[in-house]
Amino acid sequence: MQLKIYQENAIDELLEKVKRLLNLSGSKKLVFKSPTGSGKTIMMAEFLKRLVDDREIKQSLGFIWTAPRQLHIQSKEKLENYFETSRALKCSYFEDLDDRKISENEILFFNWESINKADNIYIRDNEQDFNLSKVLERTKEEGREIILIIDEAHHHATSEISQGLIQMISPKLTIEVSATPVLKNPDDMVSVDLEEVKTEGMIKKAIILNDQFVNLVKKGKIESKLSGSSDELVIDAALKKREELLKAYQKEGVKINPLVLIQLPDRIGQTEDEHKNLVIRILKDKYKISTDNGRLAIWLAGEHINKEEVEKPESEVEVLLFKQAIALGWDCPRAQILVLFRQWHSPIFSIQTVGRIMRMPEPEKEHYRNEVLNYGYVYTNLSDIEVKEDLAGGYLAIYTSHRILEYKPINLLSCYSVRHREKTRLSPLFISIFLDKAKEYGLKKKIDKKAQSIDMRILSDWKVEDIDELAGKHLVGDKSIKMSNYDFQKLFDFFVRKSLREGEVSLYPEDRSVDKIKQSIYKFFEIEFKMKRGEGEDEAIRLVLSDKNINHFLSVIDKAKSEYINEVSKRKPEIKFEENWNIPEKIEYWGEYEKEDRKKSVMQPFYERYDSKLEKAFIDFLEKSEKVKWWFKNEDRDKKFFAIPYDNGETKPFYVDFIVKLKDGKIGLFDTKTGLTKQVAGPKIDGLYKYIQSENKKGKKLFGGIVTNTDFRNYNGRWIYFDKESKELNENSFDNWVDLKL
């Protein structure tokens, strides 16, 4: 899979910090904090692969991976799939261990809750000396260091349990992997930011609570217009949203059937059974959703119906009845709506509650054009809902503001930034650089076309470094060994991976980068020796691997890598434009926002968390104006909000604070500033000036600039704006500013 940029960065940081800690004396602890849905297991899998591949690591390493409940089983399956091609690490349960020890680059998986059970195989003594303490003793006798990974320790775990594991296993290094770590006083930490995970489309932008129903926060608890309503009304709202999502997916051309999760209480008694039967009856009688027609699945203790393929994107199952017990570790990205009834056992919302609807169904595509698909939805008739801290920090949208019905499109040109991946992987640019470097080097003339033999002594050196790559072949010194085209292909692949790692510039040999070097070499032979792709590749590979030619290719690859890194480091962040940007149809807000009565806001109701008193005063001014039709308070993130390009050494998006529509058709673009200087505000002033001039030439009616009040203390002075280039800005005078007469 293609790793996200934040994942690459986290893996690099993990590798750097773990290598440092392994070189220190004593037992060390590292915390890897990453949000729910960010792909923690995949990041750990790739990190472990790079760790055992790293030539700077001299220690022999074995690993123990512990997790709660049955999550260790799912983790083992994920890691085995990830290592299927590379065979970098071996994944084992306790009973799979060879010679009753953890071998080099082997991961032992087990459930950490089981350490509290005295009769467990990990703990109890037996005649075979096959328990955890003996396994660890034999492993360490071979000089092998243990790295302990404690996964999802925040689920029913305490720091005491973590410390108990560390004390029992006595690892060289402990890595806690969690969204909310419990380890105290770690020696180092790697943290992934929630906004990065959202920005790259791994998880939904937010979870919306009771969409289309007004929510209120009183004394830290949420009350909703849906609170106390019938279960049938809650189901109606959820299934109406499901139909909306289905149509949106169809319009996007995406084959995904959105799933509604209805969560029943953990404790099933007579009352709960009656409640379950009521829900089933509502679904069947009103919506024709039943287990008989395959549109309903049930996953309860002792009752599994239609759940076998429920995770598949196009599964015909529309609703799944389940309990909280299955939530941990269960992954169904098409699940997008969660229903909770007032009989639910807990009024506290946390990541555990909504985690099953956080993931995007196609993270490789990032977020969709239709914003409705980029959110998860919770419908509940619970009253007095509490929100745990882990959810309040950017996951759960309590308030929703909608664009007014009278709004007419303004179709502005807007921009947003796109991050480059070229610094972590080779792009097609490398091919052209390789061909240029081949010419500079005179590679064509230096190649001996008659040389297609391979010095097996070179290969034997490589074999010692990575035995898996040579698939067990015994090549030492045997020049007469007969090799097939398949053997040459395998050796060529290893040659390319080795060339990426070594030389003046070291790059991680991920598949995309390996492919770019192969393409470069094939293209070279196609241009210089007229060898066609496909039929000429086998001969090209033999020529490259020949002992007379191989060092020439290594030299050109190394020069091309250096030039490539040099080029991409000069690249400025890419800016993309949206031709017809309009005010968003709706915006979601978190608990720290407050509702205000603002009649002229284009978004209703209006919610705000002021960054400055000047912003509030400016809104007061706009509200009193007879000329203002509506105004919009912009935000400074992603392409959903409005931005113009400006140059501050590199081109960036500038999110102006306010868009103001006047009754005469003019549109004002204003950014509130106090205590501004040319150095700070200059590039943005120039960017906004150029944007307004350019767009007005195309027929727009724009005006505006940096706006402030002449009374910096109480904002009772004149409102003025600067509509010129920054070179005309006098930091000590407002003489050439324009009065904002609204």
In terms of pLDDT, which residue wins out, 326 or 5?
A: 5
Q: At residue 40, does pLDDT exceed 60?
A: yes
In terms of pLDDT, which residue wins out, 70 or 200?
A: 200
Is the residue at 649 inside a domain? yes
- In 3-state terms the chain splits into helix, strand, coil percentages (rounded to 5) of 35, 20, 40
Q: Same structural domain for residues 592 and 550? A: no
pLDDT digits (tens, 9 = 90+) for 632-670: 999 988 889 999 999 887 888 999 999 999 999 999 999
Is the residue at 729 inside a domain? yes
Q: Same structural domain for residues 36 and 181? A: yes
pLDDT at 461: 43
Residue indicated by tokens 């290094």? 173
Residue indicated by tokens 């058709």? 665
DSSP for residue 601: B
Contacts 24+ apart (CB under 8 A), 678-684: 678/726, 678/729, 678/731, 681/706, 681/726, 681/729, 682/726, 682/729, 683/646, 683/647, 683/648, 683/726, 684/646, 684/648, 684/654
Query: What CATH number is attached to the domain comprising 649?
Result: 3.40.1350
Q: Same structural domain for residues 485 and 347? A: no
pLDDT at 309: 87
Is the residue at 416 inside a domain? no
475 pLDDT band, cuts 50/70/90, is very low
> What's the rounded mean pLDDT across residues 227-234?
85
Query: What CATH number is attached to the domain comprising 65?
Result: 3.40.50.300
Q: At residue 470, does pLDDT exceed 60?
A: no
Q: Same structural domain for residues 28 and 135? A: yes
Domain boundary among 397, 418, 446: 397
Give the number of domains in the chain: 4
pTM of the predicted structure, to 2 decimals: 0.73
Q: Same structural domain for residues 606 and 727? A: yes
Residue indicated by tokens 């020696």? 187
Highest mean pLDDT (candidates 39-43, 478-482, 733-737): 39-43
> What's the rounded mean pLDDT across residues 23-50?
92
Q: Same structural domain for residues 666 and 611? A: yes
Q: Same structural domain for residues 93 and 123? A: yes
Is the residue at 694 inside a domain? yes
Q: Same structural domain for residues 82 and 144? A: yes
Q: Tell me phi and psi for residue 608, to 5 degrees.
A: -145, 150
Residue 498's CB: how many other CB atoms inside 10 A? Answer: 16
Q: Same structural domain for residues 43 and 152? A: yes
Sequence-distant (6+) residues with CB within 8 A of 27 are 166, 170, 171, 172, 173, 174
Q: Same structural domain for residues 228 and 311? A: yes
Q: At residue 472, does pLDDT exceed 50?
A: no
Q: Which is nearest to 352 in space by CA: 527, 525, 243, 207? A: 207
DSSP track, 31-53: EEE--TTS-HHHHHHHHHHHHHH
Q: Mean pLDDT, the chain, as a whole number?
A: 84
Is the residue at 423 inside a domain? no
pLDDT at 284: 94
**Share of residues in the chain with pLDDT > 90 (%):** 43
pLDDT digits (tens, 9 = 90+) for 120-131: 555 555 545 567
567 pLDDT band, cuts 50/70/90, is confident
Q: Same structural domain for residues 550 and 692? A: no
Domain boundary among 381, 397, 413: 397
Query: Which letter, b or e, does each residue of 410-447 get, where b requires 16 or more Cβ atoms within 10 Å of its Cβ?
Result: bebbbbbbeeebbbbbbbeebbebbbebbeebebeeeb
Domain boundary among 350, 379, 397: 397
Is the residue at 408 inside a domain? no
Q: At residue 61, does pLDDT exceed 60?
A: yes
Domain of residue 664 covers 583-739
Is the residue at 89 inside a domain? yes
Query: What CATH number is attached to the domain comprising 282?
Result: 3.40.50
| Pairwise CA distance, residues 51 & 702, whole Å | 56
Is the residue at 37 inside a domain? yes
pLDDT at 606: 95
Q: Same structural domain for residues 633 and 544? A: no
pLDDT digits (tens, 9 = 90+) for 157-214: 556 666 777 888 899 999 999 888 888 889 999 999 888 899 889 999 988 988 888 7
